[in-house]
Structure formats: structure tokens, C-alpha cells
């Protein structure tokens, strides 16, 4: 297979060409052996802009930021790195932004100011890291901290979504199974209801009557469910509703502990990245607190920042406002005493991520049998109601 590539050589010049390899990974290894820093690669004959979406995905944004950071770490100048990504085969929305960044830097604007004025959808802490990196002359290190934190945030969010997919599939499949039984199986016994309804048990009358009504009003039920689904979606998309739902979920026995640990891990990881990027402590604490989505936890961490500003040690402020668990307090206290607070905060984030993942696995292991039991009970009640209806009819004297 042939692959077209664009790369940067040792002198910082952009090169391009065609390379032959059995796979894209093998072609990338061949390019790396030529001491070239790859910026884009695509199969020859395949248009890189074909079938583009109207907006770039977060994954594409992550890849571009990774490439940009790698170029800076390799010693490529800022202008050349921006120019390279502005001419790459990434999404036109992203390449257009990098072209604008290149123009702004060439006319004398600082990269941090140009990045803030651009429409690149990066979180606020990313801008703070870039500003601190420019001020200290460690832009590449600051970018690396920001990229790692950005990927951590997306990974946590993806894990949450993936964890909710399985329960959603179980619920939808269970509701679909019950709906099929009510729409196509139960109505076949509707004649028993009209002829011998008085002799049937109450549960049988309700079950068969419900099935007959649903079968006769299928269109109405479908339209109603569609409207309810659209209304729920519109409600969830309203500002503040998701946060309130998340706070309600945080009070649940198993799911709540997992959500809180995930948010505390996000806070620890964000604060570690900001401190590693030489951001001032109070500003880093406020930025890390603003990244937390649970309102009650964000309020506690904001109070922690105020206490630290008043002179209280970070570990004592966290303990005072009950923002972490005992292990977290100990790690922060050791980090303060040893001067390695960013490293220990990163370790704390990893600890919360691991424990949260284990808790999620245990919850899913319990969820499957519970869902099977609930669906089996509902279907069993329907079958029992039909059998009771048949037997009650057979008991009617002739």
C-alpha cells in the first residue's frame, strides 16, 4: 500500500512524499527511521478531506494537539509548527484555526493571546497552562501537561458513557420484550376478556385489557413515546439540568460513590497539571475547582481555595471542608512536606481512577442479574395472568 505523508526534518523544514508499507503503522515506523517528525499521513489515492463532518470531533482535536506538542518538544519553532498543522490533512475547521494562529504569531501577538482569541475548543486550564509556559519559557512542557489533562478528562467522560451503555441496553431490551408481548401476544386472548371477563381474576383482566388497548392504539402510543423522548432530551439539554441530575445520582449507593471519586480524580489531575505548568497555587485551585461538575463538591473545593488564600495549608483546608478521603489527605500532606505536590496529586488522581473503575465493574456485575430478575419477573407475571385467564375460563360451568 502507498501512503502520502507530511513531516518535519531536523532543520525544521516541511517535507512530503509517498512511502510504501503493508500498513499505516509500518509506514509510520519507516518515516520515524528517517529522523522525520510525522505531521499527517493518509493512504495514497484517498482524499483526506473526503466525507468530512461539518465540525471536528474531540478525538481529532486531541490528535492535533498531540502533534503540535510533539513538534514543540522536538525543537521545531512555534511558527513552523503552526504552519505545518495549518497545511496538514486534518479537519478544515482545525487547519483553519492553526492558519489563523500562525498569522497572529507572525504579526507579533503572543501565542497564548492568539489561542484565547481563536475558536479552538480547549478548556480554560489549557489557556492558563499556555500563559504560564510562555512566561517561564517552558511552552512545550506546559502544552504536554495540558494535552495529558485534556485526554484524561475525555477518558473519564468516555468511561462514564461506556458504563451507562450496558444498563441502557438492558433497560431498552427489557422494555422492548415486554412491549412485544403486550402488542402481539396478549391481544390474542382478547376474546376471553369480552366473553368471560367477569370470571377472570383481576390481574388477568388488567393484563389482557392493557394488551388489547395498546394493540388498538399502537400509533398513539408510538407518537406519545416519541414526544416524551423529545421532551426529555430538550429538558436534559437545558443549562443546569444535567448538573442537578448528576447531583441526584451522586446520592445513590454505588453509582454516587463512583461519580464523586471520578470528579475528585479530575480535580486532582487538573491541579497537578496546573502546578506542574508553574501556575500560581490559588489560581490553580480555583481553576481545578471550576472543572468539577458536581455542585456540592465544587462548592467545597472553592472554599478550600479561599482557606488556602487565608493562610491554611492545603491538606488542612481539604480536611476541614471534607473534600477528599483520608488517603487523599495523607498524600497531599506528604506532597506539601516534600515539595512534590504535583506528583502526589497525579498519583492521587490515578488512585481514584483505578478505584472508580473497579467500583464500576462490581456495579455492572450486580446489574446484569438484577436486570434479568426484573425482566423475568415482569414476563412471568404476564404469562401467569394469561394462564389464570385460561384456567378460569375452563372452570366456567357449561
| Tens digit of each residue's pLDDT (9 = 90 or more) over 224-280 | 989 998 988 888 777 677 777 777 877 877 777 778 888 888 888 888 888 888 888
CB 83 within 8 A of CB 41: no
Given a cut of 80, whether residue 199 has pLDDT beyond it is: no
**Measured between alpha carbons, how far is residue 175 from residues 29, 43, 152, 229 in Å?**
50, 45, 35, 14
**pLDDT averaged over every residue in the chain:** 81
Given a cut of 80, whether residue 351 has pLDDT beyond it is: yes
Instruction: Count how many residues are written for the chain.
Output: 398
| Tens digit of each residue's pLDDT (9 = 90 or more) over 303-339 | 999 999 998 999 899 888 888 888 888 888 898 888 8
**Measured between alpha carbons, how far is residue 243 from residues 149, 160, 246, 369, 376 in Å?**
22, 15, 5, 30, 34
- Alpha carbons 352 and 360: distance in angstroms, whole number: 12
Facing residues of 5 across strands? 17, 41
SS (H, E, C) 296-355: HHHHHHHHHHHHHHCCCCHHHHHHHCCCCCHHHHHHHHHHHHHCCHHHHHHHHHHHHHHH
List the alpha helices (DSSP H) in 181-252: 190-196, 202-216, 218-236, 241-249
Per-residue pLDDT band for 1 (boundaries 50, 70, 90) equals low
Q: What pLDDT was estimated at residue 51?
A: 40
Q: What pLDDT was estimated at residue 264?
A: 85
Three-state DSSP state, 17? strand
CB 395 within 8 A of CB 199: yes
Instruction: Report the b/e string of 368-395 with b at 16+ CB within 10 A.
Output: eeebeeebeeeeeebeebbebbeebbee
Which residue has 448528576 as its cell numbers? 246
Instruction: Report the b/e string of 246-285 with b at 16+ CB within 10 A.
Output: bbeebeeeebbebbbbbbbbbbbbbbbbbbbbbbeeeebb
User: pTM, whole model, 2 decimals?
Assistant: 0.62
Amino acid at each position: 500500500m502507498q501512503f502520502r505523508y507530511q513531516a518535519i526534518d531536523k532543520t525544521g523544514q516541511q517535507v512530503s512524499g509517498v512511502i510504501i508499507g503493508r500498513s499505516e503503522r509500518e509506514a509510520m515506523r519507516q518515516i520515524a527511521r528517517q529522523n522525520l517528525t510525522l505531521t499527517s499521513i493518509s493512504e495514497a489515492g484517498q482524499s483526506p478531506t473526503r466525507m468530512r463532518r461539518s465540525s471536528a470531533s474531540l478525538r481529532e482535536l486531541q490528535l492535533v494537539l498531540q502533534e503540535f506538542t510533539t513538534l514543540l518538544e522536538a525543537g521545531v519553532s512555534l511558527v513552523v509548527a503552526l504552519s505545518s498543522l495549518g497545511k496538514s490533512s486534518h479537519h478544515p475547521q482545525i487547519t483553519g484555526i492553526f492558519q489563523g494562529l500562525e498569522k497572529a504569531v507572525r504579526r507579533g501577538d503572543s501565542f497564548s493571546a492568539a489561542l484565547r482569541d481563536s475558536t479552538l475548543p480547549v478548556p480554560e486550564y489549557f489557556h492558563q497552562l499556555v500563559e504560564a509556559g510562555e512566561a517561564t519559557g517552558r511552552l512545550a512542557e506546559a502544552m504536554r501537561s495540558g494535552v495529558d489533562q485534556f485526554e484524561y478528562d475525555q477518558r473519564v467522560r468516555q468511561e462514564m458513557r461506556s458504563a451507562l451503555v450496558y444498563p441502557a441496553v438492558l433497560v431498552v431490551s427489557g422494555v422492548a420484550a415486554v412491549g412485544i408481548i403486550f402488542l402481539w401476544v396478549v391481544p390474542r386472548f382478547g376474546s376471553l376478556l369480552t366473553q368471560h371477563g367477569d370470571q377472570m381474576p383481576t390481574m388477568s383482566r388488567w393484563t389482557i385489557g392493557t394488551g388489547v388497548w395498546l394493540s388498538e392504539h399502537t400509533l398513539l402510543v408510538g407518537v406519545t413515546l416519541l414526544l416524551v423522548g423529545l421532551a426529555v432530551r430538550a429538558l436534559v439539554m437545558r443549562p443546569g439540568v444535567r448538573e442537578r441530575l448528576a447531583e441526584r445520582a451522586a446520592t445513590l449507593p454505588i453509582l454516587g460513590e463512583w461519580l464523586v471519586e471520578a470528579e475528585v480524580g479530575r480535580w486532582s489531575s487538573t491541579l497537578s497539571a496546573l502546578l506542574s505548568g508553574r501556575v500560581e497555587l490559588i489560581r490553580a485551585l480555583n481553576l481545578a475547582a471550576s472543572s468539577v461538575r458536581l455542585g456540592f463538591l465544587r462548592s467545597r473545593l472553592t472554599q478550600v481555595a479561599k482557606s488556602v488564600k487565608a493562610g491554611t495549608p492545603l491538606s488542612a483546608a481539604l480536611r476541614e471542608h471534607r473534600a477528599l478521603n483520608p488517603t487523599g489527605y495523607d498524600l497531599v500532606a506528604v506532597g506539601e512536606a516534600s515539595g512534590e505536590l504535583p506528583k502526589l496529586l497525579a498519583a492521587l488522581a490515578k488512585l481514584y481512577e483505578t478505584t472508580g473503575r473497579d467500583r464500576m465493574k462490581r456495579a455492572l456485575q450486580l446489574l446484569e442479574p438484577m436486570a434479568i430478575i426484573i425482566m423475568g419477573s415482569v414476563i412471568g407475571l404476564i404469562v401467569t395472568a394469561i394462564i389464570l385467564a385460561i384456567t378460569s375460563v375452563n372452570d366456567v360451568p357449561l
